[in-house]
Every structure is written in structure tokens, then in C-alpha cells.
Amino acid sequence: TADQIELYAYYLPD
């Protein structure tokens, strides 16, 4: 199984 990561882990809100 693999965990789905959210985009917030890579990109921050402007």
C-alpha cells in the first residue's frame, strides 16, 4: 500500500 500525499507537502499557498 502507498500513502497519498497532498500537494501542500510540496507547494505552499501564495
Q: Which residues lie near other proteins (CB under 8 A)?
A: 1-14
CA distance 14 to 7: 13
CA distance 4 to 11: 15
Closest distance between other proteins and the C-beta of residue 12, in Å?
Answer: 6
Closest distance between other proteins and the C-beta of residue 9, in Å?
Answer: 7
DSSP state of 1: -
Closest distance between other proteins and the C-beta of residue 8, in Å?
Answer: 6
